[in-house]
Amino acid sequence: MENIALIVGASGISGNNLAKELIENNWTTYGITRNSEVELKGLKNIKADLLDTESLEKALKDINPTHVFFTAWMKKDTEAENIEVNGRMVRNILEVLSPKKSVRHVALVTGLKHYLGPFENYVKAGFTPETPVRTEHPRLALNNFYYAQEDEIFDAAKRDGFTWSIHRAHTMIGHAVGNLMNMGTTLAVYATICKENGTPFTWPGSEAQWNGISDVIDAHILAKQFLWAATTPEAANEAFNIVNGDIFRWS
């Protein structure tokens, strides 16, 4: 049976590397973005406004994906706004695809904030999340747009009968032309500016982060987990933490 992927956010780090992985494995691969054109051989570009169902219906009229991968999100000023807009984005796409009855699996990438809460919460003094984080940990009693995205997928899965997987990545590093939300690129640019100006290359973050334990995930590894979870029956309807496996301190 042919595998037809729809990647939501194909211009991002996780989406772009996933597209490469799927194409290399002979998947028919569509990438949906709002404005950008992703230059990747084999990727079929689609442009649509994720918050406009009419735009999505038009863009997806002749496309019947078997697998949907959500790798995009929108940043707003408050977590309430994040919940509304990111939840609606997921809901819109799955509702537009629902009548087609083609979707067999839906995957979503979230991250460590599933366990720590939004930035404004876990930077507060006295907040001590349970560690190490486990996928079976209960949700925090906090507003979190990751939870809203998950709930939209869970509800649609009950309605349409597809399986799902959640991929909780941490500090993603990878290559994607034009994408600036990448700590690897940011640190490289910062170091280059410091060298050019002859200024010290000093830590730009907090003391807690400087001394804390950190880890990262290579986008190539995440892409392989996406593919594995989408094609392995035993992985259906599960959440997965994913990091490279090595831990470090910025200090």
Active-site residues, by number, are 113, 146
Report d(CA 106, CA 229) in Å as an integer. 10
- For residue 132, whether the previous peptide bond is cis, meaning omega lies within 30 degrees of 0, is yes
Closest CA relative to residue 110, chosen from 139, 132, 131, 81: 139
| Strands 163-169, 238-242: pairing kind | parallel
| DSSP bridge pairs for 6 | 30, 68
Half-sphere exposure of 18 (CA within 13 A, CB side): 34
Phi first, then psi, for residue 111 (nearest 5°) are 180, -165
Report d(CA 91, CA 49) in Å as an integer. 13
Query: And the tokens for 158?
Result: 């009950």
Strands (E), 1-97: 4-8, 28-33, 43-47, 67-70
Report d(CA 39, CA 97) in Å as an integer. 25
215 to 207, 245, 247, 248: CA distances (angstroms): 17, 7, 5, 6
Q: DSSP secondary-structure letter at 33?
A: E
Report d(CA 25, CA 5) in Å as an integer. 12
**CA angle (206 as vertex; 205, 210 as ends), nearest 5:** 85
